[in-house]
Amino acid sequence: MKRYCTLLTIGMLASGVVFTAACAKKESLAVVNGESLDKSRFEAYLEIKRISPKDDAHKQRVLDQYLEREALARVIELQDVLNAEEIAAELNEFKKEMLISRYFEKRLAEKVTDQAVLNFYNSHASEYQTHKIQVAHILFRTNKSMSETERKAKLTAAQNAMSKIHAGEAFDEVAKTTSEDRVSGGKGGDLGWLAEGAIDPRFSKKIFSLSSGDITEPFESGFGYHIVKYLDGPQVVTQPFEKVKGRIRHQLRNEVKQAEIEALMSEIDIQKNTDVGS
């Protein structure tokens, strides 16, 4: 290190940049154009770069590069090449961005902990519960482009299918032979377990009003005319914590950040000069 200090001092004398032997001073790494570089600042640099201060070889290499960049930056700063105001503005923007980012990173880590996420999940259990019911249906499709005559024909087909069920024909057999939903029709109309609110509102409201043994008369939804048979349920299914914890963390972080911004802004008095930019 002593040899490095000597060589760098000789190399920079012509530019007006002078380094003292860092190894000779405990509190100062170097003096650049009369300004001392504190050892504490270099130690902070090592910390943000995740460099262990105990790794002497690595630390010395980093120190050499650190001092060279400091010297070069200060020499360039004296040259009449770059726009000083633009550089200052860019540095200020970077400083603001870093301050805001680091501040919220620290505050959110303190407040939105794993335990806080779990506590929210436990205290808002109903928000992570879904009601499901198992039904079968027979569908006669409609669409907006249909004429009134065509729509009535679909309703008549649904009523005819309902007549077969009233006459004693098995629901699943009627579904297989008449339903225009070919996927469920091949399974006797079985739609499986449906979550409340996850489908057409009119259809959802109707099926969640059913009880054991119910079969509806034909009714219309956005898909067409249905005849629905209750199969099982409804059941309450709770989403596991592992599945929703990421969503909860994101929600809590947004809420905490907004509250923190509002608290900070309440301490600020901004008086805008209306003449600027006019």
Structural domain spans, the chain: 2-81, 129-238
For the cut 90, the answer to whether the pLDDT of residue 167 exceeds it is yes
Crossing angle for the helix pair 56-78 and 39-48, nearest 10 degrees?
110
Crossing angle for the helix pair 114-123 and 241-265, nearest 10 degrees?
110
Which long-range contacts does 114-120 make (Cβ < 8 Å, 24+ apart)? 116/252, 117/245, 117/248, 117/249, 117/252, 118/241, 118/245, 120/248, 120/252
Q: What is the pLDDT of residues 80-96, one digit of tens each?
A: 899 999 999 999 999 99
- Which tokens hold the place of 152? 């009535």
Give the pLDDT of residue 2.
40
Sign of CA dihedral 163, 169, 175, 177: negative
Per-residue pLDDT, averaged over 41-54, amounts to: 89
Distance separating alpha carbons of residues 149 and 101, to the nearest angstrom: 64
pTM of the model: 0.58
- Whether the CB-CB separation of 221 and 158 falls below 8 Å is answered with no
Q: Is 29 or 72 the better-scoring residue by pLDDT?
A: 72
Per-residue pLDDT, averaged over 228-232, amounts to: 97
- Phi, psi (deg, nearest 5) at residue 38: -70, 145
Give the pLDDT of residue 277.
56
pLDDT band at 38 (very low <50, low <70, confident <90, very high): confident
* Domain at 129-238: CATH code: 3.10.50.40
Q: Is 48 or 277 the better-scoring residue by pLDDT?
A: 48
Per-residue pLDDT, averaged over 180-205, amounts to: 94
